[in-house]
A and B are shown apart, each in its own frame.
Chain A
Amino acid sequence: MTMNGRTSSALGSFLFCALVLVSIAVDASLRRAESAKSSHAVLVVAARLPSSDLAMSGGARWLRSPSLAEPSAAFDLGPAMLDPDPAGGLLDPPREEWKTETLRTPRGVFPSP
């Protein structure tokens, strides 16, 4: 390979890197624009759902809507019990929020109407 050829190859490599990054950014932007068209539909449907949590969790029912799940899930009751869903859910329970909430919410018996 000649000197000029090597310089061109090096410059071409830099150009290739920049082109790859720009292509990803442009494709992502186009996909976002396409997805934005369905934003109204998402909001209308979400208004009828219990939460905006995604339907991506495991079959365990306390994982489907983690933001509305109980602070003490059923499987926490067994001493040293293993996670029944080995891969877990994509949504981990919001432990940090529960910590705050436990402090804010007084424990007691829910009154009858």
Chain B
Amino acid sequence: MAHAMGSLWRRKAKNVALGGGLTFAVALVAAALFLSDALQAEAQRARGAMPDVTVEALVAGRPSTIPVASAEPFRAYPSVRSVVPRVWGYIFLPGALGNLTLVGTPSSAPALSEAHGELAGGRDLVAGAHEMIAGVGLTSLLGLKLGDQVGFPSRRPDASPLRLVGTFSSSVDLYTSDVVLCDEADARAILGLEEGQATDLAVWVTNPSESHVIATKITAKLPGSRVIEKQLLGRIYALTFGRRAGLVLAATVPALIALLVLAWDRASGLGPDEKREIGVLKAVGWSTTDVLNAKLLEAFLVSAMAASIGLALGYLWVFVLDAPGLRATLSGWSTLYPTVHLTPAVDLAELLALALAIVAPFVGLSIVPAWRAATMDPMEAMRG
């Protein structure tokens, strides 16, 4: 161990360059994985509140409004607990250069309050008072304060301006940055949705394991509709976040391969000093196994240090610095993008697996060069 450390110290410039490159590559890969896992965990966290089945109408292959009366046959199904027609949609705000999500609140919705952490300030909506609750991203972009009134663009003249009575807490900013909650009647007026029409139908069932059966029955009852099951959302999130992270990882693969090839090249090309050193060691009684162990230990030390520092840098990049560069590259340039800190989903087992995935190939690559060095004839080695 002492010899391995001394050998690393004597060739510190080479090892720092090699370890530094590996550290950078590990940090990039780890940051992409940490970011993807954190976002997936956040999306899964809110999945519990979603309806078991969502029903949308498709007209000419595009989402359309759905008649509220379409919900009546489903209410009669024994395992259906409730069917709620929902009113929501998107509005393009020229001032913000982005879309906001306007959501009408049904009367049955649970109350929001500052005390329970849903709101950062203000209070919940009062039905019929033309009020709204907005996300932090939107209020800061438009410079809104509690009590301010905003008239959203609408094709209906009866759409009232809305008064800001509450702002969402930063803990829910990932879901609400671009959201405006208002009374269902106000949402209907602003979005231009006729009475008797809804954006979609939210269906809750008594036994969630029966949701697929209910979805199939709804599909048969409303041909041409689009039926989305909550159970599938988990898979959807895994697919969507995994694909983005996969693209970043695929982009880093050539860099990693180049680095491993460089490591192989550096490890296999023994300099005259190294050859002489090995020759002396063998001359003073070191066996082939001793030399092999020392060389493998050198590779292990370099890769383990690079892996741990790389993982730490990746972690700091994502969860302390909020992934500057990487987050924007992955997420696009939405003006209503939430700036909230992400919560890490990584645990010790995953960290060890990542470290092993880096250290094992690096040490593996150094076995052949180490073996060549260890089996050299001492006299030939000392001559250089």
Contacts and interface: CB of A to CB of B under 8 A. Distances in A.
A38 B175 CA distance: 13
A108 to B, nearest CB: 4
A46 B345 CA distance: 20
Contacts of B332: 57-59, 63, 85-90
B118 A56 contact: no
Nearest to A9: B5
B2 A22 contact: no
B148 to A, nearest CB: 21
Given A91-B240, A105-B225, A48 B331 contact: no
Contacts of A68: 54, 56, 200, 228
Interface stretch (B166-174, B282-290, B365-373): B166-174
Contacts of A95: 239
A97 B233 CA distance: 9
Contacts of A93: 240
A13 B169 contact: no
Contacts of A14: 301, 304
Size band of the interface chain B makes with A: 35 or more
A55 B239 contact: no
Contacts of B42: 54
B278 interface: no
B252 interface: no
A13 B304 CA distance: 9
A1 interface: yes
B253 interface: no
Contacts of A85: 332-333
Interface string B209-223: 000000010010011
Contact of A50 (B99, B101, B222, B330): B101
A110 B175 contact: no
A56 B339 CA distance: 10
Interface string B334-353: 11111000011111100110
Nearest to B62: A70
A13 B6 CA distance: 13
* Residue in A13, A31, A54, A112 whose Cβ sees the most chain B Cβ within 10 Å: A54
Interface stretch (B149-157, B176-184, B374-382): B176-184
B33 to A, nearest CB: 13
A90 B181 contact: no
Given A47-B110, A110-B222, A21 B47 contact: no
A9 to B, nearest CB: 5
B334 A38 contact: no
B175 A45 contact: yes
A105 B368 CA distance: 57
Interface stretch (B75-83, B257-265, B306-314): B306-314
B11 interface: no
A54 B335 contact: no
Interface in A71-91: 71-72, 74, 85-91
Interface of B: 1-6, 9, 39, 42-43, 45-50, 54, 56-59, 61-64, 66-67, 69-70, 86, 88, 90, 92, 97-99, 101, 103, 105, 109-110, 112, 116-118, 135, 137, 168-169, 171-179, 181, 196, 199-200, 216, 219, 222-228, 232-233, 235-237, 239-241, 243-244, 297, 301, 304-305, 307-309, 311-312, 315, 319, 328-338, 343-348, 351-352, 355
28 contacts: A6-B1, A9-B5, A10-B5, A21-B351, A23-B312, A24-B315, A37-B117, A44-B112, A45-B175, A48-B112, A52-B43, A52-B47, A54-B175, A55-B101, A55-B135, A55-B337, A56-B334, A57-B331, A59-B98, A65-B101, A68-B54, A70-B61, A87-B329, A87-B332, A90-B244, A93-B240, A94-B240, A109-B59
